[in-house]
Amino acid sequence: MSLATVAIVGRPNVGKSSLFNRILGKRLAVVDAFPGVTRDRNYATCEWYGREFLMVDTGGMMPESRDLMQRLTYDQAEFAVHEADLVLLVVDTQVGVDRTDQQLARRLLKADKPCLLVANKADNDQMARDTFEFMKLGLGEPYATSATNGRGVAEMLDEVVRRLPEDTEPAAAEEEGVIRVALVGRPNSGKSSFINKLLGEDRHVVSPVAGTTRDSVDTPIEVDGRKYVLIDTAGLRRKYKVTENIEFYTYLRALKAIEGCHVAVILVDADAGLSAQDQHIIDEVMKRRRAGIIAVNKWDLIEKDSKTADAFSQDIRDKIARFDFLPIVYVSALTGQRVSKVLSYVDDVYAAYTRKVSTSELNDLLQKALARRKPPASHGKFIQLKYITQTEITPPTFVIFANHPKLVDKTYIRYISNQLRERFGFEGVPIRLKFRNK
């Protein structure tokens, strides 16, 4: 499912990051009294009364600034506006209407984006009454809020949810049996080239310059009677071609692609190795409970012997020890080496992602696991695991009934997870274990 996106924009020091933190209920953004603190973008999945949406916090926008970093920040905020389904323009009640506020309001009106005007720092009734001067910006009646004490934030979020478009399931996914596969990875890791080789034709623009793909593109294909939708994602090239920009674009697009897929293929550049950004993308795939495959691309460029692949795989598994169940395949989009094999991995991983195990098989496994190793006592209490059943698929979710469910040790939970993987596979799939009172 594709989540709606909300972008928070405004000039420096109007309290955007404070508002972002207030909405999330935790300090995810750096907040300071000095303008221009937020440079890296913050994004998080938020929920309000059962409605989830992706929120993006941006840096202060200064349209007339000639400073390179200010231009970079403005460029990133512009991209956030481009991607957003709803824009929150935040202004400062205690300062009043500013020339930059007027410029940004005109920019949003020209873009014809749904917009909500948020007058922040309205800490009391008098300040809330003063917010009506912002009506002259032409964006409608402002919502008076205070990120400091929470005043008006709930009412603003009610309006945000009311204005958001409905979450959409991609049309191709409505057809039963279609597997949605997201191609994600760093810029220039070969995502578009990979799809072109798979299709056997140049369906996407391919360039050695990072960030060529302008938008996510869904490509339906059928191989040996099996239907897939390939989602190609990459960075957006803009006037200021700075690595930090491209990584921001790529990451934001990857998040949206992951939300709408069943299986994510994380392309890793063999020449560069598994980077920190690759690891962040893997974290996001697992956090969103999608199945995953690591495809090491450009393998033809590596000088290798019989031990090279094993050493490379071990290095990857050392870096992502929590997710060592992800399969690794070595490919070359240039030569076509093992490119088609990736779809075989997708089939296997998707089968595991949708697998339903019978209750009798699960309880047989549980009794054998208990015979080999019992859960350690906690706080002087013996832990007894009575029964296990599978309650969900995509991802496979299991409930174990116990006499003290909150006291089950984390290492023992991992032990049971490993037993499930060893017995039933689940390669490339995050599985969930829940413990409930007997």
| Residue 2: per-residue pLDDT | 63
CATH 1.10.8.50 fits domain 171-353 = no
| Residue 243: per-residue pLDDT | 45
> Identical fold at 5-163 and 171-353?
yes
| CATH number for the domain whose boundaries are 359-437 | 3.30.300.20
| Residue 119: per-residue pLDDT | 95
**Which pTM does this prediction carry?**
0.68
Q: Degrees (nearest 5) of the Cα angle 312, 429, 51?
A: 125
Distance CA 406, CA 187 (A): 43
Distance CA 336, CA 353 (A): 27
Return averaged pLDDT per consecutive 10 residues of the chain, 438 residues in all: 80 88 69 46 77 82 68 66 86 91 87 90 89 91 92 93 73 66 84 83 53 59 87 49 50 75 94 88 91 95 88 94 95 90 95 96 97 94 95 95 94 95 94 92
Q: Which CATH superfamily is domain 5-163 in?
A: P-loop containing nucleotide triphosphate hydrolases (3.40.50.300)
Delimit the domains of the chain by residue range: 5-163, 171-353, 359-437
Q: Are strands 226-232 and 291-297 parallel, antiparallel or unpaired?
A: unpaired
| Residue 25: per-residue pLDDT | 80
| Residue 362: per-residue pLDDT | 97
| Residue 170: per-residue pLDDT | 47
